Structure 1
Amino acid sequence: MSLNSADIPENVIKEVVVWLVKVQDDDLTSQEEQTLLAWRNENHLHELAWQRAENLGMTLQKIPPAVGKQVLGRSATMDRREFTKHLGLLLTLVPIAGLSYKYAPWQAVLADYKTATGEQKTIQLVDGSQLILNTDSAVDIAFNDTQRLLKLYRGEIYIKTAHDSAQRPFLVQTAQGQLHALGTEFVVRQHSDYSYLGVIESAVDVIPKDDPEQNQIIETGQQTRFDATGIEAPSPLDDNANAWINGVIYADNMPLTEFISYLKRYRTGVLTCDESCDDIYVSGSFQINDPDNILHVLEKTRPIEIEWRTRFWAKLSKKQR
């Protein structure tokens, strides 16, 4: 994969933003400069993210005017940390050297409802349905006389539909297709190359974007993943599918690496887990509103140690005997 064709994953964007905050706030020590250089050389996507940051000034004109007005209009009054956070957002919007995206990422910036990392939001829709946004999510509401449509651009949502006197269908659109709620309660999560559906009550009809005739109804207690061309065979609903609604992560002998992949969604900054932790497992119920406290608990109860490079950058590894 070349620098000209790679998309920057979300975790890499977060890492480069941490470095940008550090550079903006303080002069780097010689050791920090060496660490930054090593990070850039570690992975071609790291270098791409850094190049995109450096080239940002030359490519801002490529951002659609509406986005430029909303994101850049207040730059004169922003402090350095706030501007750097916006810069991290722009890294996902601004292409360099011919980069392209599957769909316009600025749609999430302008969405009707958004949540930041670690934030959740509950909305009562005009038809009486309940919508809850999980961490780092963005959704548009597009109700009209013929349908009730939600457009999920990023993250995860919980929906409990209400009866509609006009009998308009309730639909959720993701990058990979459309979901038709059949009087139901369910969760949807948008991933980079697929969508996840978990049905808590009743049923949902999954309709892949590029092959709608391959639609499939997913029943109560089932979950599935689908892309634009097809749907995976449904499996039993995961315990964590809707646990986040109650602010909880459940773990039952869960691999630590998998647990951290859940936790990092609720924590600002960079959180990584070394391969040495592959044989460490976690059990329990954890409150997601304080991720750092969970890390401290894990460090006390599991054979791990945590390297805090900054307050926002933590790396877990297996404790040496």
Structure 2
Amino acid sequence: MTGNSSFQEWLKQHSEQFESVLGDILDSAQTIPNRLHEAMRYAAQGGGKRVRPLLVYAAGQLGDAKPEMLDCAAVAIECIHAYSLVHDDLPCMDNDDLRRGRPTVHKAFDEATALLVGDALQTRAFEILALADDSAQLRLQMIAALAAASGSRGMAGGQAIDLDSVGKKLDLADLKHMHALKTGALLSCAVQMGGIAAHLNVSQMDSLRGYSEALGLTFQIVDDVLDATADSQTLGKTAGKDAANDKPTYVTLMGLDYAQKQAQTLQAQAIGHLEGFGSEADPLRELALLVVNRGK
């Protein structure tokens, strides 16, 4: 892959591939219970950056991954991400009315349906991996990685810390730890799942771990910057929610200038971890640039 035009072609190809597979794997709205399946599709197919599925595909091309396995891993991790957004938007959590430029699930349907949508998308993710066409050992590795990244020592744990931190002062180390769980764990898992599917060795997986940890933190810092500087139309969700809810962020803790510079530094660190790979890692490099430049 050479040049941004080649990456744009890669991005278009894999984005379209993902959307097609996602539509095929999710139950149709005509499947009973109809309203639940309609709401699940509404939540999962509502657009978004699809960073996690794209990271799965990008890491998967570093080795000999089966395309079908990458498809399953990409859909599974996006189901987990979609469920987390549905629950995150509920009145008992962040209480938001807007997600990806349209009403959140509990507004478009109702709170009980939104709760069930999250539950069903979560379990569907693991069903997809369990039934994928690959070795039992590889599927088990995938399931274990996704479960760890999603649970109390990963995304859910980060959300718990986030809720408990409203109105409180966190130091930089605590803020990094919270976001390493809340945002970074699932992003890292996407890269890890691609690497597992590609049958990478221990050294290669360590390089991917360094890349994804830096990328996860970069992603959250950029989120904080955009929440403070962009409008709701640009974001596709309610702008300024963190400040309104008195949540600690990189911007409120360290200032906008620090946050923007730190994002650039972490982006360079992420790409630096890929030095041992050749041009096959170019999509991962380009995705790191995309994360920092989103919203521009």
TM-score between the two structures when normalised by the length of structure 2: 0.30
Q: Which has the higher contact order (CA 8 A, sep 6+)?
A: 2
- Comparing both structures, which one devotes a greater share of its residues to helix? 2
Q: Which has the larger radius of gyration?
A: 1
- Comparing both structures, which one devotes a greater share of its residues to strand? 1
